[in-house]
Amino acid sequence: MRALITGGAGFIGSHLAERLLADGHDVAILDDLSTGQLENVPEGAEFYEGDVADQDIAREVRELVVHCNVVFHLAAAVGVKLIVEEPVRTLTTNIRGTENILRAAAIYQRPVVLASSSEVYGQRDDPVPLHEDAARTYGPTTQPRWAYAESKALDEFMALAYTTEYGLDARIARIFNTVGPRQSGRYGMVVPRFAVQAVTGGDIEIFGDGKQTRCFCHVSDTVDALIRLAQVPRPMICNIGNPQNHIAINDLAETVRGLAGSDSPIVHVRYEDAYGVGIADMRHRRPNIDKAYTELGWEPKVPLDEILKEAVQAAKTELEVAR
C-alpha cells in the first residue's frame, strides 16, 4: 500500500508515517512546515513541501493522490493560540485545504481518512460521553473558538457531500485530545505545557477555573485507530479517544507536578489574559467509543499515568539538551 499523509510532518502525522513505514507500506508526506517540523519526517518517507490550501498546488496534489492507495488528511490549523492569532489562516487551511484534497480523491476514487476534531460537538456543560450522532451546540460567531469548530464540522459536511454526490469513500475520525512524543505546548496543548512548566519550575498555568474535564489518548493508540479506520470497507464517522483517561484540569496539573517532583505554583489565568480575548471553553469532552470497538475492533491501551510520565520525561530531556 502507498499512503499520502497531509500534515505528515506534524505530531500525529509523523507518528502515523512511522507506523505505516514499519508495517512495510510506502509513504508520501505533504506538509507546509508551518507547524510541523522537517525533523519529524521519518527516514524512508517521500517529502513534498506545500500548502494544501494553496490553489497553485492543486495539480501537485492530484499527482500525489493518483499515485497512492489511501489519503490520510491530517493537515489543519492546530491549537487555540493559533486559532485566536490567525483566524483567516485557520479557516482557509481547514476548509479550502480539505476541499482540495477531497476533490482530488473524488476524481481518482481514492479513499480518504479525514481527521476531524471533538471540537465539532461544541459547548458541553455535562460530562455525558459523546456519541457520533450527538447534537451540536455552538456559541456566537464572535467567539473565535467556534470558528475552528465550525470549520472542522464543515470539513465533515464536505466529506459526506462528496461521498453522496461523487461516490467518494470518506472515513471521518473525530479525534479527542491526543498526547505523546513530539507534541509541543507552544500552541496551547495542555499536557506538554504543564510538563515543561513543572520541570522548569515556572508557574503551572491553568486557563479558567480548572474544573473543565478532558480525556487523553496516547498517539500510538490514535494512530492504530486511524489505520484500522482506513481498512473499513465503507464510509463512516468514528470517535477516537480514551474515555478512561478522564480528568479535571486542576487534577491534571497536580498530577504532573507530582510526577515531576516539582514545587511549581499552580495558578489560574483568565482566558482573556492568556489569549487576549475571551475564549468559550467546552466544560467536558469525553468520547463514547462503542462504535470504534465494534466497527474497528479498537480500544486504547495506554493509561494516563504512563502518558504523563512520558511527557514529564520528555520535558526533562529537552531541558537537559538545552543546557
Same domain, 110 and 209: no
Whether residue 226 lies inside any domain: the answer is yes
CB atoms within 10 A of CB 34: 16
Q: Is 48 in the active site? A: no
Same domain, 199 and 280: yes
CATH number of the domain that residue 145 is part of? 3.40.50.720
Whether residue 293 lies inside any domain: the answer is no
Same domain, 104 and 29: yes
Same domain, 175 and 29: yes
Q: What type of residue sits at position 267? A: V
Same domain, 48 and 140: yes
Query: % helix / strand / coil in the chain, to the nearest 5?
Result: 45, 20, 35
CB atoms within 10 A of CB 270: 12
Q: How many CA atoms lie within 13 A of 48 on its CB side?
A: 17
CA distance to 169, 314, 315, 320, per residue, from 204 (Å): 44, 17, 14, 20
Which domain, by its residues, includes 209?
190-214+245-286+302-322
Whether residue 204 lies inside any domain: the answer is yes
pLDDT tens for each residue of 263-305: 999 999 988 877 777 677 788 999 999 999 999 999 999 999 9
Same domain, 88 and 141: yes
Same domain, 111 and 94: yes
The per-residue pLDDT string of the chain (323 residues; one tens digit each, 9 = 90 and over) reads: 999 999 999 999 999 999 999 999 999 999 999 889 999 999 999 999 999 988 777 788 899 999 999 999 999 887 677 777 888 888 888 999 999 999 999 999 999 999 999 999 988 888 899 999 998 888 888 877 788 889 999 999 999 999 999 999 999 999 999 999 999 877 678 999 999 999 999 999 999 999 999 999 999 999 999 999 999 988 999 999 999 999 999 999 999 999 999 999 999 998 887 777 767 778 899 999 999 999 999 999 999 999 999 999 999 998 777 66
Whether residue 47 lies inside any domain: the answer is yes
Computed over every residue of the chain, the mean pLDDT equals 92
Same domain, 62 and 25: yes
Same domain, 278 and 195: yes
Whether residue 296 lies inside any domain: the answer is no
What DSSP letter does each residue of 37-95 carry, written as one string? -GGGSPTT-EEEE--TT-GGGHHHHHHHHHT-SEEEE-----SHHHHHH-HHHHHIIII
CATH number of the domain that residue 316 is part of? 3.90.25.10
Q: How many distinct structural domains can be found in the chain?
A: 2
pLDDT tens for each residue of 106-122: 999 999 999 999 999 98
Same domain, 154 and 9: yes
Whether residue 156 lies inside any domain: the answer is yes
pLDDT at 59: 81
Whether residue 292 lies inside any domain: the answer is no
Site of grid cell 477555573? 209
pLDDT at 199: 97
Whether residue 261 lies inside any domain: the answer is yes
This prediction has a pTM of 0.95
Active-site entry in 138, 148, 187, 275: 148
Same domain, 36 and 174: yes
Same domain, 125 and 202: no
